[in-house]
Structure 1
């Protein structure tokens, strides 16, 4: 098909003398194949210059719409990235606050332990004082009893009469009184010391109570901050997930833009294959089946991996049926090219005819430099289209295959429908992060174009199935 760059040049230098009707851009929806044919041939173009000029405007608008969509996605990505940065900063601040509170709790625990130790020491000192007071009281009581016993009438008379004069009698009586007062003063001092210790104990218990209350407040505060951190972490996780989905959507939009940048011209009808779909590789083990990965997460195809004890890297991939290649990619490194080619790395996208049934096939993660076909190539069943690799979102050499039902008319009609719907890599059934991919399963919506088929079910294979 002639390039539209040439067409644009002709349009600008030509005079618009055609008598054809002027169409609105919306009138070209679904008529792209007809218009491509009309405006790519000089004779029909000359007779429909105004119409072709309108069609060119329509194509430019479609291109601008795609660019606007990409710009919107990029803007959303930047907005989410900003939110992620702000929320991550808030989360870090909350986590630092939790660390500070934990340090405060640890300090409070130490103060409580120290206060409890002081209380215990004070209690022990009070016990010692009480014992000392008790011993002193017992001794004073014994002394007074003994004194009373020794100062009975006769002894008391001797005590008085033994004095040389009255002043000595006074001194003897005063001495006894002083001894008693001394003992009572000693007991009073001990009781005062005990009272001080008891006051100290009450003060320490008051301090401990305040510390325990403060610790409870710190624990509550920590719990509240932890809840805020949990919410912030959930938000950051959700934002990162949304960010990843937008980046993936951007990659798909870029890939779609690349695919539709030049519409292919279908040269001849594709003859139907007979006998069903051929397996794309000859020796393999099924490591993952469709819809879900073994360890969770969506998986929209079947993974053909190595047979135990061998390597599948570089193994030939063949076309399962006669068909038309509608897109391919071969510029991703075999290893370490995560995200390249919308995550599929090097791939081939084709439409196949099997006994009059039209299928779409996606073959991903191919080896760099191994893709042998390109958009517009007609392929025969069993023809090599590439080799098994590890490109794109892949963690080990394998072939990822997806299969779609596209109707029962012809490859040409299926191609036109696919292109007119937006020409994306998933045949308009949604990707693993799009949201409606499960609703577009043929087993759910019925065998209606387009819908996703279960590859394993179509081939009669299952998880860990081995074909040596």
Structure 2
């Protein structure tokens, strides 16, 4: 019987490499599945070997990740001075950081699962050992009671791993008398031992897996920090260069006829009804649940930034901060999510899908702009006015943007009437109302003592 068992094990060992020969391209793209699968005890040795191959695959990917860092400084040096190349690098690095975020989250979850699995295996091994001891004792007692004269109790030693086969023939006659129940018990005992060996092997594999996962996490987090630093450096260089390019594009005289699909051409005339743009109740927050990532009038890394970036998830509702006239609302840009740095589509250039509102709050007139909006659910389009708190659009990442957010700019028009302000926009389609763009726009901040029109900090108006 032992010979048959050994033959069976040998046959399994011959087959095993074939069943576990998973190529790297079978892991690629399925990392989440394999990470989750291999974080728990496997049911067969073949599956355990697949997980060992997956560990080797991850080690290779980890080496590739480390090697990729070596070329970052050279890429940045080559792109310096070229806004297009810098934008491409920022978009590329940002995607890689997102991938690292996902990998780190998966690895941390897997590490917790592995630790729990090891604890469960501890209990399982104790239980299997107890079962083996019970079966062993039961079989010994049974054989001893039935075959006291044949020495068949030596068979027990044989089954339990004895290496001496000399007594095998002598006890064969006695074995014939063993009941079927004894045979079943022996088979169960062998299965228990196989299960125990697998459990111990899996415990050892998972302990190694836990250490590897911990080491990988530390390396990935270090790489992530480096990638963020390089991305911020590339973005800062881009913002400094882009400011001049953007200022020229936005200051260029526009063809009003090209913008008619988004303009309402509101003509309220002298003495006309302006109530749709008047609000005696102050402002409401236009981007609920958001947080500010950049403020006016310069980026944290340098280069002018004329508004506030309110970070929210893609598709978050944007509401009118006050009763307002809708001067412009257009959503021609379908690429409205993800990394689009360097994309100068929309009006004004780089704004993507955009809206310009005109409002008079407590007697003071403001022009409020919303950039980088989602194309769908663009509710303000076609409306001449919107009410305070009414949904006008949703956050996106259209135009010159690195991810979902809403960029808001405010032009302070003082006691300018809505009639005069609407007429000025109809003639020029200038979202800045003459306050300028780029470095000129940053210099026209109201806090610098500039006269109307000047740029106001949105965070000063919205609670």
* Same fold flag (TM > 0.5): no
